[in-house]
Amino acid sequence: MTRFEIPTLTTDRLLLRAFRADDLDAFAAMRANPEVVRYLGTGRPSTPVDVWRMMAGFLGQWALRGYGVWACEKIDGGAFIGSVGIFHPLDWPEPEIIYSLDRPFWRQGFATEAAAAARNWLFEHFPLARAASFIRPDNFASKRVAERLGAVYERTSESRNASSSSHSAFAISTPS
Does the structure show a pLDDT above 70 at 159?
A: no
Q: Which sequence spans correspond to the domains of the chain?
A: 9-128
Query: What pLDDT, on a 0 to 100 scale, did the predictor assign at position 153?
Result: 82
What is the rounded distance in angstroms from the CA atom of residue 161 to the CA atom of residue 70? Answer: 23
Fold topology of 9-128? Aminopeptidase (3.40.630)
For residue 163, give every residue at least 6 positions away whose Cβ sits within 8 Å of its Cβ, in sequence order, or none.
Answer: 42, 43, 44
pLDDT above 90 covers a percentage of the chain that reads: 66
The helix/strand/coil state of 158 is strand
The per-residue pLDDT for 168 is 59
Q: What pLDDT shows up at residue 165?
A: 54
At 72 the pLDDT is 98
Residue of 162, 132, 148 lying closest to 42 (CA atoms): 162
pLDDT tens-digit map of 6-44? 999 999 999 999 999 999 999 999 999 999 999 888 889
Which tens digits make up the pLDDT trace of 106-148? 999 999 999 999 999 999 999 998 888 888 888 899 889 999 9
Distant-in-sequence, close-in-space partners of 58: CB < 8 Å, separation ≥ 6: 19, 68, 69, 83, 85, 87
- Give 132 or 159, the one with higher predicted confidence: 132
- The C-alpha atoms of residue 107 and residue 111 are separated, in whole angstroms, by 8
